[in-house]
Every structure is written in C-alpha cells, then in structure tokens.
Amino acid sequence: MERMDKQDTRVILVAGSGDVSSGFDTLDDLKRVPDGFSGGIWTNRIDRIFAAYTKNEESRCKK
C-alpha cells in the first residue's frame, strides 16, 4: 500500500478472484479485509455493510 500511495494510485480490494461483480457484500466478507488496509473495497450491497464498515473505519482512525 505504501508503494502504491507514493505513486498516487488507488487500490480497490475485490472479493473472490476479481470477477466483475465479486464484492464484499456481507458482514462475514468484511472480516476478510486485512487490518490496516487503507484502500477501498468493492461491494454490491452497501445497504448490508455500511453501518459495520463505517464503524470499523472510525475505530481505525482513532488508533
């Protein structure tokens, strides 16, 4: 991530093998996002994960 940040490159994490529509769409999927990951994640179901994802992001920012 540090190397990508230095090149001003955005990193988007997709679930699965990178299929067009593979996203982090459930709360269990979010458990697979590495601690400290500072990029974006792909989701097709923001309605299912928004509250948990933003809560997790807030706790990361306080560290």
- pLDDT 10s digits, 27-62: 999 888 888 888 888 999 999 999 887 766 555 444
pLDDT band at 13 (very low <50, low <70, confident <90, very high): confident
Higher pLDDT, 57 or 9: 9
What integer pLDDT is reported at residue 58 of this predicted model?
Answer: 57
Do 30 and 50 form a contact (C-beta atoms < 8 A)?
A: no
Q: Region 15-25: what's the mean pLDDT? A: 80
**pTM value?**
0.66
Do 23 and 45 form a contact (C-beta atoms < 8 A)?
A: yes
Query: Got the DSSP string for 40-51?
Result: EE--S-HHHHHH
